[in-house]
Structure 1
Amino acid sequence: MKRYWQWILALGALLTFAGWHTTTAHAEGVGYTVSAKLPKNQDDKNVTYFALRVKPNQQEKLGVVISNQSKKSATFQYGVNQAITNNNGVIDYSNSNPKLDSSLKVGIKDVFR
């Protein structure tokens, strides 16, 4: 019975000391935020993306606000890319010329000039 308690005490000490040596990871942000400047014909004012009510052939100027959150000066390039789903099922905007599914009737490049 004494041997049993020694094992329990040793295991408890091992778990206690192992718990003290944990590493905490801190994620760094990208340093900027992007938000849409919603026009008057925004269909739903409660969302933060463009959901516009437009007529056929109507043109609309859209704007975004890029806010630099870092302490350093920065230059930003922007553009419009087609959203695709990557192999993990995650929405991906990083490819400027992705292979599009044949069922896509209207792509983002058909809407923006």
Structure 2
Amino acid sequence: MNNFDTLLANINRNNIHPPPEIEEVLNFFDSKRSRRNNNRCHAYTLLGYSVEKECKRIGEFDAIFIGRATFHFWKTSTSQEKGEYVNLAQRRCRLMLESSSSQFSRQSVTM
């Protein structure tokens, strides 16, 4: 695909809203541990994950188009749709904090 408008027309909005389940998000970010700072918990980042997944499903791999599509969907999403991603991001943050604090306690005990 080489036309941004065509990309937007081909994206199935139902695959972006509602957001994915928390387990899918945690698995995705766990698999990306080697990348820079995966500890960020932003709704926009999670929306970007959904948009990227949908773009790849329809055969679009251009990172610039995916970024533009993410921005488009963020701007055109309702406050309720954005709120679902905000809630998902907050859940991810809480789970990551709980996970890191339990790892820290286990390390303290073994030392």
Q: Same fold (TM over 0.5)?
A: no
Larger Rg: 1
The TM-score range, normalised by the shorter chain, is under 0.3
Considering fraction of residues, name the structure with more strand: 1
TM-score of the aligned structures, taking structure 1 as reference length:
0.23
Structure with the bigger RCO (C-alpha within 8 Å, sep 6+) is 2
Considering fraction of residues, name the structure with more helix: 2
TM-score of the aligned structures, taking structure 2 as reference length:
0.23
